[in-house]
Amino acid sequence: MQHGKYRVALQFFGRFKNFLETNNLKDKEWVDVSRRIVYSNLQLRRYEDAEAQLEEIIRQFLRQKANYALVYSAYSDLLTHCLKYNLNKAILLGKALLSEMQRENVPLGYQKQFQYFLGTAYLLKENYTDAKSRLRECLASDPSNQLKGWAYNSLAVASWWHKFPSLREFVSDDEEETGPQQSDIPAENIDADFENVIPLFKKSIYYIEHSNNQIKTGLEWLLNEDLLPQDRTNLTKTQFKSLHVGKPLLNLSEFVLNKAPSKRAELQFWLKTTINFYEEQDPTNMDRSLLFLAWMCSTNKYFDRAESMYRIVLQMLENSDSYNKVLCMQLLGSMLKKMPNRSGEGECKQQSY
């Protein structure tokens, strides 16, 4: 039903766009229609068509000799898209936009964004050395608090994965970590970066939470060496309100579980804080936190509880084909295979995606 709606929208906006082009009306209305076509293509998972339309918008701005703000806003949209659907192109485009020949034309605010995009693209391509270099360059340029928070989050993940490159999201019980990746970076530098992962995640949370530049009291502990606040008496309500803070909260919880399992009080605090955050601030996206909690139950052999939560996640993602749904199916299947008389069911779950 949903796909049918977007197919109709795509046909309508396509005809409208053709009408505007036939009458040489390539102005703001043409751009708005083109962006609606991008959105419809994304909903239909036609990612290459969406990318082509974003490129057409850029070409139109260049033909019109539009001001730099419009042109590089369109490049930012394209980079954001490529970061999700075409990492190789994201890297090539980011390097081109930040080259010496191009950089003098790029407004400073967009240079900071592009450094973040490029660093994160390198991270997702497992080039941790260049990822950390670009993200540090972004942070050194004094970006906005929100961009600073995103950059600290990506830098923390890069510093984590550089030391343990086989650790991705959740490591299944039957998989072994291969240890540090071969690198031309001295091992002591990689180790030093790894020791700084928790402070980087905390800075990410702090700056994202202060993205509106309003100073919030009670969060200063995020910038000091303490992993927990001094006052932990009230864990029923989250201190954090920014919708974007969920990702570093969850990343920090996963890091503490995977790399510092002996810190039980810290893990309990961050896990409760993360769950409370999603329940109160972002319930439509709490599938990831439930998935993490289910995996924790599974690793501690609370299989019935874990299965119940895995199935809740699958129900939440019933009409989705997102990565979290695929991961949930794989983790549930892996757990079922270890349970008496359910290995066949587990195999079917894993093979269904």
The answer, yes or no, to whether residue 275 has pLDDT greater than 90, is: no
Query: What percent of the chain clears pLDDT 70, i.e. is strictly above it?
Result: 87
Residue 129 has pLDDT above 50, yes or no: yes
154 near 135, Cβ under 8 Å?
yes
For residues 203-230, average pLDDT: 81
Q: What was the pLDDT predicted at 284?
A: 83
The band of 4, judged by pLDDT with boundaries at 50, 70 and 90, is confident
Q: Tell me: pLDDT of 231 over 60.
A: yes
**What is the mean predicted confidence (pLDDT) over 149-156?**
97
pLDDT at 115 over 60: yes
Summarize pLDDT for 277-333 with one digit per residue, the tens.
Answer: 888 888 888 888 888 888 888 888 888 989 999 999 998 888 777 788 888 888 888
Residue 320 to residues 44, 70, 114, 326, Cα–Cα distance (Å): 12, 33, 30, 10
Asked if pLDDT for residue 67 goes beyond 90, the answer is no
Backbone angles phi, psi at 214, to 5 degrees: -90, 125
- Give the whole-angstrom CA distance, residue 83 versus residue 117: 7
pLDDT the model gives residue 171 = 44
To the nearest whole number, what is the mean pLDDT of the chain?
85
Over residues 314-327, the pLDDT tens digits come to: 988 887 777 888 88
Between 323-337 and 287-299, two packed helices, what is the crossing angle to 10 degrees? Answer: 20
3-state SS string for 286-340: CHHHHHHHHHHHHHCCCHHHHHHHHHHHHHHCCCCCCHHHHHHHHHHHHHHHCCC
Tell me, rounded to whole angstroms, the distance of Cα 11 from its chain centroid: 31
Q: What's the N-to-C CA distance of the chain in angstroms?
A: 22
Report the pLDDT value the prediction gives residue 353, as an integer from 0 to 100. Answer: 52
Least reliable range by pLDDT among 103-112, 151-160, 233-242, 257-266: 233-242
3-class DSSP state of 258: helix
Per residue in 162-209, pLDDT (tens digit) is 998 854 544 444 444 434 444 567 888 999 999 999 999 999 999 999
pLDDT mean over 118-143: 96
**pLDDT category of residue 213 using cuts at 50, 70 and 90:** low
Q: How confident is the model at residue 146 (pLDDT cuts 50, 70, 90)?
A: very high
Residue 88 above 50 pLDDT?
yes
In this predicted structure, which of 45-49, 127-131, 175-179 has the lowest mean pLDDT?
175-179
Q: 231 with 269: CB under 8 angstroms? A: no
Q: Which two tokens stand for residue 341?
A: 């008389």
Instruction: Please answer whether residues 100 and 123 qualify as being in contact, where contact means their C-beta atoms are separated by less than 8 angstroms.
Output: no
Q: Name the percent of the chain lying above pLDDT 90.
A: 46
